Amino acid sequence: MLPIVRAGFVAGTLVALTNLCLPAPSGAQESPYFVTYDHYLEEPGNLEIEYFSTVGTQRGGNNFHAFWTEFEYGATAWWTTEFYFDGQTTFGDSTVFTGFRWENRVRPLKHEHFINPVLYVEFENKNGADKILKEGEGHDVEADFLTPNDVARKDHIHEIELKMILSSTVKGWNFAENILAAKDLSNSPWEFGYALGASRPLALKASPNRCTFCPQNFSAGAEMYGGLGDRHHSGLHETSHYVAPVVAWNLPSGWTLRISPGFGLNDNSHQFLLRWGVSREITGFGSMVSRFFGGRR
Amino acid sequence: MKVHRASRLLIAALLMASEGSAQQDKTATPKDQRGSSIYAELGKAPEKARSKRNPMETDKDAVAAGRNLFGRHCAECHGVSAEGGKKGPSLRAEEVQNAEPGTIFWILTNGVVRKGMPVWSKLPELERWQLVCYLKSLGVAAKPGETTPANQPSAAAKDPASPCR
């Protein structure tokens, strides 16, 4: 079986099991971004299970399919915590598990403002074969991905990543700016990166009827992301950058589908990245777990 | 060794997440008491926000659209008929039904983040006003033994031309 089909099958099974085993879905209103974060956190007590794929081209080597699964939980209305498990298949090489990440986003302000900050802290335990391109950072370039999997996976990376997420919503448009600083916990310098996004629902008014294809269920926009060098050599020299239109379809049944074709903006970038994702939000997950352990909720 | 450290981190994360939920539980006192502290948030809406006019008040579809939005985003916490649920207070209480539309819109926009109500500004402004229309159309829920609430006409008695007011 082709690795991409196998990964799709695994994702499909996971999502189908989610559908069968867990209680009522919520009508998610998810942003279409893949890389950029806006300031909206997961609703408290809800769990969102997400599967994402990135198929990327590789000059001088084999194309790849990287994939990750996220479990995003709203611990409170101001704190969201998230686990990722990721892996990749390099065509003509192998399929490898590439690590896990634990991410936390905290909203420091009580009310909405014109610009809303969110603080982001992530711990990554991954290996050198990681190709999910969840962010652009430092001097990461396309040529880094040429190392064969069996060599690259021996390189263990423990990294802390900090982000300042700034986001505004004006007349239905969301504008988000993320500044990133990442530090490999071995002896490496701080690396920097950025992500920018703008998106808007296709309609700003809800329809009186429950509908699947209504324009308000779709949101579209674009994001741009890339590296900004490191502490010793900051700037755009030897960095990669991407621009990607993004579309999300929030189905009334609680599913969200996303797709985004991404384009490299310079010779250090992969020429093309096709991303897609499927997610489902499970309401009341926290209460369900609490009841399971004898809680009153 | 690294795996052990990672496992400890994972366990710590889960414990912290549970603790977060537990903190929310601690604030969950009897329903009325919880409700009254939540309703106090309505009084924090600034004058400018309170006096905002609902642009959807003459839209004949606003209530139906608001009902759909409520089912998708709010019913889980506030109950299917908005009379209060496991996590959220009744939205058919006098405090809410007598509040200005602008006040309810302000709460929707800003949330009550420290008390578990998320920010809903991710819904476009007109959708939030549609939600306000739906909520205002519900009227005050009758208390057990009452046929009509004392301080408010029932939903059926509201002006059908503009149920959002």
Cβ–Cβ under 8 Å, residues A129 and A154: no
Helix axes B125-138, B62-73, angle to 10 degrees: 100
> Cα A170 vs. chain centroid, distance in angstroms?
23
**B48: contact with A, CB 8 A cutoff:** no
Sign of CA dihedral A230, A232, A234, A240: negative
Helix axes B101-110, B125-138, angle to 10 degrees: 130
Q: What is the pLDDT of residues A262-289, one digit of tens each?
A: 999 999 999 999 999 999 999 888 888 8
Question: For residue B59, what pLDDT band results from cuts at 50, 70 and 90?
Answer: very high
Three-state DSSP state, B156: helix
pLDDT at A14: 54
Among residues 50-69 of chain A, which lie with CB inside 8 Å of chain B?
A: none
> How far is residue A178's CA from residue A290's CA, in Å, rounded to a whole number?
34
Q: What is the pLDDT of residues B25-42, one digit of tens each?
A: 444 444 555 556 778 889
Question: For residue A20, what pLDDT band results from cuts at 50, 70 and 90?
Answer: very low
User: What's the average model confidence in pLDDT over A20-47?
Assistant: 80
Nearest by CB to A205, from B21, B65, B72: name it.
B65
pLDDT, greater one: A15 or B143: B143
Question: For residue B21, what pLDDT band results from cuts at 50, 70 and 90?
Answer: very low
> How far is residue A38's CA from residue A228's CA, in Å, rounded to a whole number?
20
pLDDT at A13: 54
**A27: contact with B, CB 8 A cutoff:** yes
pLDDT at B29: 44
Question: For residue B79, what pLDDT band results from cuts at 50, 70 and 90?
Answer: very high
State whether A102 and B10 contact (CB < 8 Å).
Answer: yes
| Mutation to test the B interface, candidates A70, A110, A251, most B Cβ within 10 Å | A110
User: What's the average model confidence in pLDDT over B114-134?
Assistant: 95
Cβ–Cβ under 8 Å, residues A136 and A227: yes
Q: Kindly report the pTM of this predicted structure.
A: 0.85
**A285: contact with B, CB 8 A cutoff:** no
Residue partners of A233: CB distance under 8 A and separation at least 6: A139
Nearest by CB to B20, from A38, A76, A295: name it.
A76
Nearest by CB to A45, from B21, B73, B121: name it.
B21
Three-state DSSP state, B145: coil
Cβ–Cβ under 8 Å, residues A63 and A93: no
pLDDT at A177: 98
Structure letter (DSSP) for residue A205: S
Q: What is the pLDDT of residues A155-202, one digit of tens each?
A: 999 999 999 999 999 999 999 999 999 999 988 999 999 999 999 999
Instruction: Compute φ and ψ for A290, nearest 5 degrees.
Output: -60, -45
**A229: contact with B, CB 8 A cutoff:** no
pLDDT at A203: 95
Alpha helices per DSSP H over A163-275: none
CA nearest neighbour of A219 among A26, A29, A40:
A29
Nearest CA in chain B to A42: B118
pLDDT at B36: 66
pLDDT, greater one: A209 or B145: A209
% of chain A with per-residue pLDDT over 70: 90
Instruction: List the domain boundaries for chain B.
Output: 30-157
Question: For residue A56, what pLDDT band results from cuts at 50, 70 and 90?
Answer: very high
pLDDT, greater one: A139 or B159: A139
Three-state DSSP state, B47: helix
Please name the residue that has the structure tokens 């802390």.
A160
The ipTM of this complex is 0.85
Nearest by CB to A40, from B87, B122, B127: name it.
B122
> How far is residue B102's CA from residue A229's CA, in Å, rounded to a whole number?
47
**Domain A3-292 is found in CATH 2.40.160.40:** yes
E strand or H helix at B128: helix B125-138
% of chain B with per-residue pLDDT over 90: 52
pLDDT at A253: 86
pLDDT at B136: 94
**Least confident window among A190-199, A253-262, B19-28, B42-51:** B19-28
The whole-chain average pLDDT of chain B stands at: 78
Residues of B in contact with A172 (CB under 8 A): 124-125
State whether A208 and B20 contact (CB < 8 Å).
Answer: no
Question: For residue A296, what pLDDT band results from cuts at 50, 70 and 90?
Answer: low
> How far is residue A42's CA from residue A77's CA, in Å, rounded to a whole number?
7
HSE (CB half, 13 Å, CA atoms) of B59?
A: 21
Compute the nearest-CA separation of B152 from chain A (Å): 27
Superfamily assignment of B30-157 in CATH?
A: Cytochrome c-like domain (1.10.760.10)
Alpha helices per DSSP H over B28-124: 31-39, 47-50, 62-73, 75-78, 94-97, 101-110
State whether A209 and B121 contact (CB < 8 Å).
Answer: no
Nearest CA in chain B to A27: B72
N-terminal to C-terminal alpha carbon distance within chain B? 64
pLDDT, greater one: A295 or B119: B119
Q: Which of A28-42, A161-175, B2-16, B136-150 reaches the highest mean pLDDT?
A: A161-175
State whether A112 and B73 contact (CB < 8 Å).
Answer: no
pLDDT at A254: 87
pLDDT at B9: 56
Nearest by CB to B17, from A41, A81, A172: name it.
A81
Pairing status of strand A79-90 against strand A116-127: unpaired
E strand or H helix at A198: strand A191-201
